[in-house]
Amino acid sequence: MSDRLKMQDPRHQYPAPPFPEQPQPAPGLASQLEPPADHGEQSYQGSGRLQGRRALITGGDSGIGRAIAIAYAREGADVAISYLPSEQPDADEVLRLVREAGRKAVALPGDVSDESHARDLPRKVVEELGGLDILVVNAGHQKFFESFDRITTDDWDTTLRTNLSALFWTTQEASKIMPPGSAIITTASIQAYDPSTTIMHYATTKAGIVAFTKALASELIEKGIRANSVAPGPFWTPLNPSGGSSQEKVKKFGQGSKFGRPGQPVEIAPVYVLLASQEGSYITGEVYGVTGGEGIA
């Protein structure tokens, strides 16, 4: 049994702040995180719950996306990941882990803020894997500003295009080809419910994702497709040290949670497994909060 699965005090299961300052250029690499994040490389154990399924995960190279890719592969799914070309070193590691699990791995580098690329992703997965049963829209852009009046129009547009427009484009194309029994899962955030002014444009997109997913679920259930969202709290990923937060906040990241530490990506992956699997057959239009005790109400 993995040590992660042994009964223990969850407050002390993973590293807690203070963390070192670790500035990275956006979008950041998981390989440069200190301390390293646990994506399930050694700790996630599958049980065949996604046997034979075919999944597309945007932002699948690092952070939560990487943990989902590892979990899905070890549950029996073939996995395609999309990522920015600059994230190739992280992506190579994910692709290796998927193949080590005995599953097919497909690399789809490109920028999801480009409409053509975002719309092409589902078709490419069908060509490579023979179909598409699970779509996880996880790619996101987050950049903090010291105050509201410093948020730039350029970053506002980039954030909305990456976090919302790409979601719309990829999901619209995927919904045309996914068969009954398929699942679509989006990544929202606690920011949708408790927004911070320094990333209020990011929070705005996450609230939009919640609304979009609930509306999508109402329509797609008529095709036998379920749609749900996961709302993380503070998780230890490259998003924050690469510009998503100030370095001062990085040093204390997760300290304010009831656990006194940030979550590790492997700790949220099982929720994405549930929502993708047939065990979640009666779940649609829901938002699952994994926030370290802060809730999403």
User: In CATH, what number does 45-290 get?
Assistant: 3.40.50.720
Q: Where are the domains of the chain?
A: 45-290
- 209-263: pLDDT as tens digits: 999 999 999 999 999 999 999 999 999 999 888 988 899 999 999 999 999 999 9
Helix (H) or strand (E) holding 93, with range, is: helix 88-100
Q: What does the pLDDT read at residue 170?
A: 98
What is residue 259's three-state secondary structure?
Answer: coil
Residue 74: partners with Cβ closer than 8 Å, 6 or more residues away: 40, 44, 45, 46, 101
For residues 27 and 142, what is the distance between their CA atoms, to the nearest angstrom?
A: 9
Tokens of 54: 């075919």
Residue 45: partners with Cβ closer than 8 Å, 6 or more residues away: 1, 2, 5, 74
Q: What does the pLDDT read at residue 17?
A: 97
Q: What does the pLDDT read at residue 4?
A: 82
Tokens of 15: 């590293």
Whether the Cβ atoms of residue 225 and residue 283 lie closer than 8 Å to each other = no
For tokens 């379920």, what's the residue? 226
Among candidate residues 12, 17, 15, 11, the one with its CA nearest the CA of residue 249:
17
User: In terms of pTM, does the model score above 0.85?
Assistant: yes
Whether the Cβ atoms of residue 247 and residue 23 lie closer than 8 Å to each other = yes
Q: Report the catalytic residues.
A: 202
Instruction: Give Cα separations from 95 to 60, 139, 246, 254, 293 (angstroms).
Output: 10, 17, 31, 29, 33
Q: What does the pLDDT read at residue 1?
A: 58
For residues 167 and 109, what is the distance between their CA atoms, to the nearest angstrom?
A: 16
For tokens 């919904």, what's the residue? 175
For residues 202 and 88, what is the distance between their CA atoms, to the nearest angstrom?
A: 25
For tokens 């492997």, what's the residue? 266
Mean pLDDT of 261-272: 98
For tokens 């490389």, what's the residue? 41
For residues 273 and 253, what is the distance between their CA atoms, to the nearest angstrom?
A: 26
- 102-149: pLDDT as tens digits: 999 999 999 999 999 999 999 999 999 999 999 999 999 999 999 999
